[in-house]
Chains A and B, each alone.
Chain A
Amino acid sequence: MPSSPENPNSPLGIGTGTSRRTLLRNAAAVSLVALPGAALLDACATSSGGGGSTSGGGTKSAENPLGVDPKAPLEVVIFAGGYGDEYAKQVHVPIYKKAFPEADVKESGIQKIATTLQPRYNGGTPPDVVDNSGTEQMDFGALSSAGQLQDLTDLWNAPSVDDPKKKVSDVVQVGMIDQGKLDGKSYIFNYVSTVYGIWYNAKLWASKGWTPPTTWDDFTATLDKIKAAGITPYGYAGANASYYQYLVILTSAAKLGGADILKNIDNLEDGAWTNDAVHKSAEAWAAIGAKYTDKSFLGLKHTEVQLKQNQDKLALYPSGNWLENEQKTNTPATFEYAMFPVPSLTSSDKLPVTAVWAGAGEPFIVSAKGKNPKGGMEYFRRMLTKEGAQGFTKLTGSLTVLQGASEGLSLPPGMTSSAKAQTAAGANTFYYNFDGWYKDLDTELRAATNELFYGGGTADKFVTRMQAKADAIKKDSSIKKFKR
């Protein structure tokens, strides 16, 4: 998901440590996902039975509106990627334990979500709360069609912990709940508030007299100046983070043609890719790729390119607002993160230049077939307290979807800059979901973006290719479809 940072802790990529033996398991027999220790006859990989019984819950009260069994154990699995899992260990789990001292809460941070947890879902013993994020996140469509996801409606209707007069749905960022719906059902809780933009070194720009551009002519003129100064003007990491750039291409398209452009793409509408807005945007970005980048970035990873920016060898880098925190240890004193929204393509763009891709990221789910689904929802309710949200922000440098949670916190400059951009955007924000819904489309778009930007591709080829893939997915009856 573009709303989540690429995992920086795994320089080897997802192939890390895959031996020949694991290959054989995966390749010739996917079925070895069966849990070891299962009885021989019950070891068929596709068996989805077994598991413990679901906790019926305790008595409901003002303190415990969801009716959690205070003694029921709770298991939480966190994707230990860009945000780590300290926030759960040090903040959220203790908050839950304070409320339910008798509950045994087990937390673990892992990176390979799908390979680790898919067998457990399949075996009927899923953990209660999962932060289903990262390159190896589990497919939400597959999870929901298997009835593995807990409907979170009860949580949104429950009173907030901090202010019991308000419902939880009233204290979270507008649109977050809708973004987490699959087929109209609320399954996904995105915890982190994400804003996307183009990042630069405010100190360098001030010293050179460059200013954040708002129009496309401004933008290219600034890129020319940067190039003349001997710095690579613009680039992203093609090896593993091309989705940072496809988000920018689609942002330009949405600004030009309105946010419905993205809705049509999500809904696999006919001609969603071949329309004028996407075509013009692809054309404009292909021109930037042809003139203002370093083609060798195609072979680099996000951390390598981000380091180049910290060294002032690269001026502009598209990313989400986790970037500053991610680069914390590599950022020299001469570097100060700031971002600006993607400049307008034309003067007749449907959305103003301040419009940004803003959404909620870091998708959390509760397992419907887990042992303690009510406890899982209660855990979310406790995450959405000022204490939980501020603790998260302090440890990760990222804002949460809890409204007003950053009051009283001093934010680093980059975070301030992105928060300002989000305020300026107001209601002019947009997002897409296709990357989580249709992994095929995400893979295709990553490759097509690299071809367009670094491989000398054309806008015609880009939109035709993407439309063909979207049409193929639409026709494929084996892929579950979603609408928004």
Chain B
Amino acid sequence: MRHGKYRFVASFLAVPLVLYVFYVLWPYAQAFNIALTNWNGFAPPVYVGFANFQRMFHDQLFIKAVEHNLFLLLALPLITVTIALFLSFMLNVGGRSRSGVRTGVWGSKFYRLVFFFPQVLAVAIIGVLFQQILRPDTSGAFNGPLHALLGIGPVGFLTNPTVAMWTVLGVLVWQAVGFYVVLFSAGMVSIPQDIYEAAELDGASRVSMFFRVTLPLLFDTIQVAWVYLGIAAFDAFALVQVLTVEQGGPDGATTVLANEIYRSNFVYSRAGYASAMGVALFFLTLAFAALTIRITRRERIEF
């Protein structure tokens, strides 16, 4: 009987497993192989050893891209999680206590819906949308009022090299927050009300209730969010490709690893070098995920 059960399970897993191996693992393995060649996408590849990896360290754009990815890795989870935590706390437990049950601020149901809106839009649409919103002339939705009301000259949100990366970060946060508000809200709902009630009886303020009750009990969810956002920070490809000047410009000021990989393969026809960068990205992502899970490992609180 036992034997039959495994066969039953295996029959369900076979098809997805084959697809996964063929379309995910096998290409990954090939990328490691191609990374050691000078393949240009057309002619048969020739093995060149670690030349592609050596080249990476002299490639200013690659270094810039890694820096930008690391910047996103630090800033994106931090800012998104902070804002999402604050918002979901206000939506769920930030309001008045009604006969011992904590509720969100007034209109929280409406806000919850509104915050989720950006999540519904495709990244390409967000890119085009913000291109118009951030237009550097006075017809931009930001620059228009800035110019008319405050008399500030057009701000080059996407054209000023020092501002552009922050703009990309801002748009990424704007898009991500809604999803994590929902995620954290779900986590907060499952925190038993009597813990809050006890804290309230002890005279805890909202701030200490947040830091002493909500945050510790939500830690698992935050950890998941952190890993998701970290991986998103290694990506950012579509937004950079659509939103920024010259796909990662001005002058490489917003480029990320994935864009350099794309450019190397499809513009410069350097599939070997692109694969080498892909391998580097693979290890960076893996290292990040392993590190996060290790650092944040702690006792689980059952409730």
What 0/1 readout, one digit per residue, does chain A (1-43) give for beta carbons within 8 Å of chain B? 0000000000111111111100101111111111000001001
Which residues of A have CB within 8 Å of B242?
12-13, 15-16
Surface stretch bound by A, among B8-16, B83-91, B269-277: B269-277
Q: How many residues of A contact B (CB 8 A)?
A: 63
Surface stretch bound by A, among B34-42, B173-181, B185-193: B34-42
- State whether A139 and B268 are in contact (beta carbons under 8 Å apart), knowing that A16-B124, A27-B281 are contacts in the complex: yes
Our pick among B123, B137, B265 for the contact of A26 (Cβ within 8 Å) is B265
Decide if B31 touches A141 in the complex (CB within 8 Å): no
CA–CA, A46 to B30, complex, Å? 9
B230 near A: Cβ within 8 Å?
Answer: no
Our pick among A12, A26, A45 for the contact of B127 (Cβ within 8 Å) is A12
Surface stretch bound by B, among A167-175, A378-386, A448-456: A448-456
CA–CA, A15 to B126, complex, Å? 12
- State whether A31 and B27 are in contact (beta carbons under 8 Å apart), knowing that A296-B137, A300-B137, A447-B252 are contacts in the complex: yes
CA–CA, A239 to B23, complex, Å? 35
A31-81 residues at the B interface, CB under 8 angstroms: 31-34, 40, 43-46, 48
B214 near A: Cβ within 8 Å?
Answer: no
A145 near B: Cβ within 8 Å?
Answer: yes
Which residues of B have CB within 8 Å of A26?
258, 261-262, 265-266, 274
Decide if B136 touches A299 in the complex (CB within 8 Å): yes
Decide if A30 touches B274 in the complex (CB within 8 Å): yes
A446 near B: Cβ within 8 Å?
Answer: yes
Closest CB in chain A relative to B121 CB, distance in Å: 13
Our pick among A114, A138, A143, A451 for the contact of B251 (Cβ within 8 Å) is A451
CA–CA, A18 to B271, complex, Å? 19
B92 near A: Cβ within 8 Å?
Answer: no
CA–CA, A46 to B127, complex, Å? 34
Decide if B158 touches A299 in the complex (CB within 8 Å): yes
What 0/1 readout, one digit per residue, does chain B (35-61) give for beta carbons within 8 Å of chain A? 001111111110010010001000000
Our pick among A19, A148, A239 for the contact of B238 (Cβ within 8 Å) is A19
Which residues of B have CB within 8 Å of A440?
268
CA–CA, A300 to B30, complex, Å? 39
Closest CB in chain B relative to A460 CB, distance in Å: 17
Decide if A296 touches B241 in the complex (CB within 8 Å): no
B113 near A: Cβ within 8 Å?
Answer: no
- State whether A48 and B159 are in contact (beta carbons under 8 Å apart), knowing that A12-B127, A450-B246, A451-B251 are contacts in the complex: no
B267 near A: Cβ within 8 Å?
Answer: yes
Which residues of A have CB within 8 Å of B51?
478
CA–CA, A28 to B265, complex, Å? 12
Decide if B136 touches A30 in the complex (CB within 8 Å): no
Our pick among A12, A240, A446 for the contact of B124 (Cβ within 8 Å) is A12
Closest CB in chain B relative to A106 CB, distance in Å: 22
Our pick among B22, B45, B245 for the contact of A238 (Cβ within 8 Å) is B245
Which residues of B have CB within 8 Å of A443?
263, 267
A286 near B: Cβ within 8 Å?
Answer: no
A298 near B: Cβ within 8 Å?
Answer: yes
Which residues of A have CB within 8 Å of B135?
296, 299-300
Which residues of B have CB within 8 Å of A142?
40-43, 269
Which residues of B have CB within 8 Å of A439?
267-269
Surface stretch bound by B, among A115-123, A191-199, A202-210, A394-402: A115-123
- State whether A148 and B30 are in contact (beta carbons under 8 Å apart), knowing that A27-B261, A454-B159 are contacts in the complex: no
| In the complex, residue of chain B having the shortest beta-carbon distance to the beta carbon of A138 | B269
CA–CA, A238 to B160, complex, Å? 12
Decide if A30 touches B271 in the complex (CB within 8 Å): yes
- State whether A143 and B42 are in contact (beta carbons under 8 Å apart), knowing that A238-B159, A296-B156 are contacts in the complex: yes
| In the complex, residue of chain A having the shortest beta-carbon distance to the beta carbon of B37 | A46
Our pick among B40, B245, B263 for the contact of A298 (Cβ within 8 Å) is B245
| In the complex, residue of chain B having the shortest beta-carbon distance to the beta carbon of A242 | B246
A101 near B: Cβ within 8 Å?
Answer: no
Closest CB in chain B relative to A471 CB, distance in Å: 13
A97 near B: Cβ within 8 Å?
Answer: no
Which residues of A have CB within 8 Å of B245?
238-239, 298-299, 450
Closest CB in chain B relative to A465 CB, distance in Å: 10
CA–CA, A40 to B273, complex, Å? 25
Closest CB in chain B relative to A366 CB, distance in Å: 15
Interface size class of B (residues with CB under 8 A): 35 or more
Q: Is the interface of A mostly helix, strand, loop or mixed?
A: helix
A218-239 residues at the B interface, CB under 8 angstroms: 238-239
Decide if B159 touches A136 in the complex (CB within 8 Å): no
CA–CA, A46 to B282, complex, Å? 20
B288 near A: Cβ within 8 Å?
Answer: no
Which residues of A have CB within 8 Å of B39?
46
B128 near A: Cβ within 8 Å?
Answer: yes
CA–CA, A89 to B241, complex, Å? 32
Interface centre among B124, B135, B250, B281 (most CB of A within 10 A): B250
- State whether A29 and B246 are in contact (beta carbons under 8 Å apart), knowing that A48-B43, A118-B42, A451-B251 are contacts in the complex: no
A126-182 residues at the B interface, CB under 8 angstroms: 136, 138-139, 141-143, 145-148
Which residues of A have CB within 8 Å of B124?
12, 15-18
Decide if B278 touches A27 in the complex (CB within 8 Å): yes
A336 near B: Cβ within 8 Å?
Answer: no
Closest CB in chain A relative to B219 CB, distance in Å: 27
Which residues of A have CB within 8 Å of B45?
46
Decide if B34 touches A30 in the complex (CB within 8 Å): yes
| In the complex, residue of chain B having the shortest beta-carbon distance to the beta carbon of A454 | B159
A295 near B: Cβ within 8 Å?
Answer: yes
CA–CA, A218 to B248, complex, Å? 38
Decide if A141 touches B269 in the complex (CB within 8 Å): yes
- State whether A478 and B38 are in contact (beta carbons under 8 Å apart), knowing that A15-B127, A114-B266, A439-B267 are contacts in the complex: yes
B115 near A: Cβ within 8 Å?
Answer: no
Our pick among B143, B238, B249, B274 for the contact of A18 (Cβ within 8 Å) is B238
Which residues of A have CB within 8 Å of B40?
139, 142, 145-146
A294 near B: Cβ within 8 Å?
Answer: yes
Which residues of A have CB within 8 Å of B270?
478
22 chain-A/chain-B pairs, Cβ below 8 angstroms: A12-B242, A15-B124, A20-B123, A26-B265, A26-B266, A30-B265, A31-B31, A43-B22, A122-B41, A136-B267, A239-B245, A295-B156, A297-B137, A298-B245, A300-B135, A439-B269, A440-B268, A446-B246, A450-B245, A450-B250, A478-B55, A478-B273
Apart from A45-B30, A447-B252, 11 more pairs, CB < 8 Å: A12-B124, A15-B237, A15-B238, A27-B237, A43-B22, A46-B30, A142-B269, A145-B43, A146-B43, A439-B269, A447-B246
Residues of A within 8 A of B (CB): 11-20, 23, 25-34, 40, 43-46, 48, 114-115, 118, 121-122, 136, 138-139, 141-143, 145-148, 238-240, 242, 294-300, 439-440, 443, 446-447, 450-451, 454-455, 478
**Closest A-B pairs by Cβ, 3 of them:** A15-B241, A29-B27, A146-B42
